[in-house]
Amino acid sequence: MPLAADIREAAGQARRVLSAYGDRLRWVSPDHLHLTLQFLGDLTMSQVSKAVEAAEETAGAEAPFAITFAGLGAFPSSAAPRVVWVGVTEGSQRVSVLAERLAKALRARRLSLEDRPFAPHLTLARVRGTGRSPDLRGDFKAMGAVMLGEQRVAELAVVKSMLGSSAPAHTVVAAVRLGERLPGSKD
């Protein structure tokens, strides 16, 4: 799901809050911030086509809605983080339903999915290196609630990510608007 410019800007402000850990955290560029519903890994062209079909099926059955990005967290924990994120508060249930419906459509097309529970979030940073992770519990508590803002969810995007030595490159393969039924679909 593409992010609005004001959400990207607010994410940069949240990043400044944790600037003391700049050398320990590898920040996601604001241009690369996104909300992932399903990660599929390496796919053949045929599998990409199936992923697009699944996105079309899922999006066609869902109406647009709003979400709010707020609150800092970390996976697996703020005491020993590997990933620092901002959560989805308002609308998180709708995002979770959308992700589950997409997963069902992908599985119906025999595409492999990650075997981990879905938690709607926006990844801000990953901890660098293999040493001891910084303990962020006190910082998170002192910062209080971080609020990035509200955004309308109106489309699903199938995105190809190319990882390399520099920042990853993301290419939108297909973008499908929510609530638009496919030709020949039944209402």
Read off the pLDDT of residues 101-147 as tens digits, 9 standing for 90 and up: 999 999 999 998 888 889 999 999 989 877 788 899 888 887 777 88
DSSP letters of 54-78?
A: HHHHHHHT---EEEEEEEEEEES-S
Share of the chain above pLDDT 90, in %: 51
The amino acid present at 24, given as its one-letter code, is: R
d(CA 85, CA 102): 22
Give CATH for domain 5-177: 3.90.1140.10
Check whether 79 has a pLDDT greater than 60. Answer: yes
Residue 96, burial from CB neighbour count under 10 angstroms (0-12, 13-18, 19+): middle
For the CA atoms of the chain, what is the radius of gyration? 17
- Cis peptide bond N-terminal to 76, omega within 30: yes
Q: Which residues does the annotation mark as catalytic?
A: 34, 121
pLDDT digits (tens, 9 = 90+) for 38-64: 988 888 899 999 999 999 999 999 999
